[in-house]
Amino acid sequence: MNDSGSHATATLTALDNGSLRVKITGSGFTPNSPHAQHIHGASGSHAFMCPGPGADKNGDGQVATEEGLAQYGDVFVSLTTKGDTSKASGLAVDRMPVADTDGNLDYERTIPAAQLPKGTVDSLQHLHIVQHGLDANGNDKYDLAALGESVFAKSLGVKGIPEEATNPATCGEVMPSGAVETGGASTDGIEQAGLLAFGGIALLGAGAALITRRRIRTTA
């Protein structure tokens, strides 16, 4: 998003014990900088999607976090490196992954079932992952000179945060992948059709390709 130059692939794996493994590999991120990242949306809702350029309400050329919220929904899970993963940790940049000197960003965490909002696994294919933080003026850091102060952070009572630090860099819609539940041939066919449909939607979207994969349940 937002000409960030960032690309990432995320794999969400719903494990048999109800926990969720999240693996993200990305490049082109603002180097040596933290990138807030979240699963956005709501359980049971099909209404959300990655925002297009039209979401840029104030016409500054960037879809800011608050401008995208109507499309991708509120923070559902904060993809922190440790500790709390609720919405309350949305801007906990001291626990967000940091891109390396070359702008590569890798993340892996398994979030226990008890720590996930109700209905997370059942709603996976209607959720989105958004990674925040970009470098609009090409100086390899977040600074106020580029886009000014973050309207979003300010709305949460945090002043002096550059807009660059909070604007979305990638957004990806979760697509189903692999077999789900029992392994009948007809079930597989349905799943394939679903995959194609979601693929079409994803092409309209964004920088991040997202895949959800459920363990194949083998039968004796």
Name the residues that contact Cu ion, by CB under 5 A: 38, 130
> Is the Cβ of residue 34 or residue 179 nearer to Cu ion in the bound state?
34
Q: What's the rounded Cα separation, in Å, for the pair 10 and 39?
A: 11
Strands (E) located in the chain: 7-14, 20-27, 37-40, 75-78, 105-111, 128-132, 168-177, 208-214
Provide, rounded to whole angstroms, the least separation between the CB of residue 14 and Cu ion.
21
Task: Give the C-alpha separation, 154 to 139, whole Å.
Answer: 23
Q: How far is the CB of 203 from Cu ion (least distance, A)?
A: 22
Strands 208-214 and 7-14, how do they pair? parallel
Closest CB 16 distance from Cu ion, rounded Å: 28
Q: Which is nearer to Cu ion, 65 or 212 (by Cβ)?
A: 65
Least CB distance to Cu ion at residue 132 (A): 5
Based on CB atoms, which residue is closest to Cu ion, 38 or 214? 38
- Report the residue number, 12 or 180, with the smaller CB distance to Cu ion: 12
Q: Work out how close the CB of 4 gets to Cu ion at its nearest, in angstroms, rounded to a whole number.
A: 13
Euclidean distance between CA atoms 146 and 161, whole angstroms: 12
Report d(CA 215, CA 213) in Å as an integer.
7
Placement of tokens 């000197």 in the chain: 101
- 56 or 191, CB closer to Cu ion? 56
Residue with tokens 């300010």: 154
Residue nearest to Cu ion (CB): 38
User: What are residue 10's DSSP bridge partners?
Assistant: 24, 210
